[in-house]
Structure 1
């Protein structure tokens, strides 16, 4: 394979989501084993909100929530902080390789309002459940924490409600038809694509150098940076979006991303299990109403906003302004939850147990139960896919007049 073929196949074209999600599952298992924590982003975004409040003279470090997740130092002093920065570097490098960076503004203010409000709801829900689509779902289930299953089911229900809500007429963007005499020329040029490719390499090189240098002086931090870069490359090149996995189930019946995520968790679970047997402690959270309510809010919010925590990160660096607002909303919502945590935590979280399936069923039993639940999830997705398209085939297609109304 020569350079042009390699470039087009691996740097320019989007990657198949299935192997990319499985690769993310494998990488997240190694990340857990070598750093002692899970792949997560909203906890760090919450800390960013706390740092902003500190700039205004407030003391969020005294709040109960920040005593749980920590607010010491800055992003460069924390495993999550350097990993998230690595993710942004990986996303930007991958987007530049494919010449996929372009400023794209929302067509109307409704979309901006959706992005901000949906982001706030999703950020609040994610931190109420102590994790987003990553820590309370994709990496939470392989940690054998019961709260992650509560969150996953509630997120599915919330995303269904969000899908129904966003289909209301008030969210439909008006379509303006414009008469043209010829097709508009493509704005992308070979020179621009070539320059962007090497600019992407210029972004990646210092990020890798930073990670390798840290690997020599502070191995855990260095590994976190390198894993973050890997996560960023995977989610941007494969366009991994948990929002689409849930939303597409209800609106289009497409299940490819949902099935990929389930398989990714299945692969990750055995790796995490191995590290747990070697003595690495899993991250188990409260299996209380906080996981259910948080999941409902998160599922509704990500569909309303149009993107989840991983989705907004790579789309933001691609220049999609809509997702800048989603990210801002996420940070606001997460910080808002931290502010009111002390008042709601006893009733919704702290009075409930942290249930570890490996402790309840034993190591082998917990692993078997987790895989049985993953198999049931996959079967449910397959059933829904058949049901959706069977029902659509039985429904008469609307007339042109009905479609235009």
Structure 2
């Protein structure tokens, strides 16, 4: 295979979601083993909100929530901060390689309202549950934390209500039709594509060099950046969006992304299990009402906003202005939760146990229970998909007879 063929097949074209999500699961496993933490983003976004409040003269470092997740240092001195910097760089590089950057503004003001409000609700719910679609779902379930299963079920329910809500007439944007004399010719800008590809390679190489240089002084920070770059490349090139996985179940009946996510978690679980047996402690959170309420809010919010934490990140760097508002809303919502944590935590979270399935059922039993639950989730989705399309075909036959 020559360079041009490799470039076209692997750097310019979109990647298939299934192998990309499985690769993300594998990377998340090694990321956990090498850094001792899991792939997560909203906790760091909450810290960013805390830093903004500090710049405004407030003292969020005294809040109980920031004593739980920490507010020391800066994004450059924290593992999560370096990882997210790497993620953004990976997303930018991948979008530039494919010439997939274009400023796209929302078609209507209602979309901005959706983006901001949905982002706030999702950010608030994610931090109430101590994790988003990553820490409380994709990387939370392979950590054998019961709270992640509660969050996943509640997120599915919340996304159902969100899907129904966004289908209301309020959110239907009027389309302006224009009369044209002939179809506009496709415009190709090969010089622009070449320039952007080179810029993308420059971003990729500079960030990789920075990460490798950091390895000498702070190995975990350098590792976090390298993994972040890889995560960013994966989510942008494969367009990995957890919102679509949940929303598509209820609106189109498609389960392609959801099935890929389950398989990714199945691959990750055995790796996490191996690291736990070697002495790396899994991240277990409170299995209380916070996981259920947070999941409901998160599921509703991501569908209303149109994107989750990973989804808004790569779409924002592609120039989709809508997702700039989603990201802002996420940070606002997460920071609001941090402010109200003292009031909510005892009754919803901290008075409940942190339940580790590996401790409840034993190491082998916990692993088997996790795989059993993943298998049941997969079977349930396949049943739903079959039921959805059977009902759709039946409705189409009734409509055809009535015409």
TM bucket by the smaller chain? over 0.9
Pair 1:240-2:245 in alignment: no
Instruction: Give the match for residue 226 of structure 1.
Output: 226
Shift of 1:186: 2.9
Instruction: Give the match for residue 70 of structure 1.
Output: 70
Residues 292-328 of structure 1: CA deviation (Å, up to 9, x unaligned): 0000000000000000000000000000000000000
Pair 1:61-2:61 in alignment: yes
User: 1:9 and 1:109 mapped to 2: Cα distance?
Assistant: 38
Instruction: Give the match for residue 295 of structure 1.
Output: 295
User: 1:181 and 1:399 mapped to 2: Cα distance?
Assistant: 35
Residues 190-225 of structure 1: CA deviation (Å, up to 9, x unaligned): 111111100100111110001111122211111100
User: 1:248 and 1:341 mapped to 2: Cα distance?
Assistant: 33
Pair 1:173-2:148 in alignment: no
User: 1:108 and 1:360 mapped to 2: Cα distance?
Assistant: 51
Residues 252-292 of structure 1: CA deviation (Å, up to 9, x unaligned): 01100000000000000000000000000000000000000
Pair 1:79-2:79 in alignment: yes
User: 1:227 and 1:88 mapped to 2: Cα distance?
Assistant: 12
User: 2:174 and 2:12 mapped to 1: Cα distance?
Assistant: 33
Instruction: Give the match for residue 155 of structure 2.
Output: 155
Tell me the number of residue pairs that the alignment of Structure 1 and Structure 2 aligns: 401
User: 1:103 and 1:140 mapped to 2: Cα distance?
Assistant: 34
Shift of 1:385: 0.5
Please state whether the residue corresponding to 1:76 is helix, strand or coil: coil
Q: 1:398 to 1:113 in 2, by over 3 A?
A: farther
Pair 1:136-2:136 in alignment: yes
Output the TM-score relative to the length of structure 1: 0.98
Instruction: Give the match for residue 40 of structure 1.
Output: 40
Instruction: Give the match for residue 23 of structure 1.
Output: 23
Instruction: Give the match for residue 382 of structure 2.
Output: 382
Residues 84-133 of structure 1: CA deviation (Å, up to 9, x unaligned): 00000000000000000000000100000000000000000000000000
Instruction: Give the match for residue 183 of structure 1.
Output: 183
User: 2:232 and 2:105 mapped to 1: Cα distance?
Assistant: 23
What does 1:3-402 correspond to in 2, within 5 Å?
Answer: 3-396=3-396
Residues 303-356 of structure 1: CA deviation (Å, up to 9, x unaligned): 000000000000000000000000000000000000000011000001000000
Shift of 1:399: 7.5
Shift of 1:176: 1.4
Q: CA RMSD in A?
A: 1.2
Shift of 1:185: 2.8
Shift of 1:188: 3.5
User: 2:38 and 2:237 mapped to 1: Cα distance?
Assistant: 22
Shift of 1:187: 3.7
Residues 113-157 of structure 1: CA deviation (Å, up to 9, x unaligned): 000000000000000000000000000000000000000000000
User: 1:102 and 1:187 mapped to 2: Cα distance?
Assistant: 14
Q: 1:104 to 1:398 in 2, by over 3 A?
A: farther
User: 2:25 and 2:398 mapped to 1: Cα distance?
Assistant: 42
User: 1:253 and 1:200 mapped to 2: Cα distance?
Assistant: 36
User: 2:295 and 2:175 mapped to 1: Cα distance?
Assistant: 34
User: 1:74 and 1:31 mapped to 2: Cα distance?
Assistant: 20
Shift of 1:80: 0.1
Shift of 1:182: 1.7
User: 2:109 and 2:159 mapped to 1: Cα distance?
Assistant: 23
Gaps of 5+ in 2: none
Please state whether the residue corresponding to 1:307 is helix, strand or coil: coil
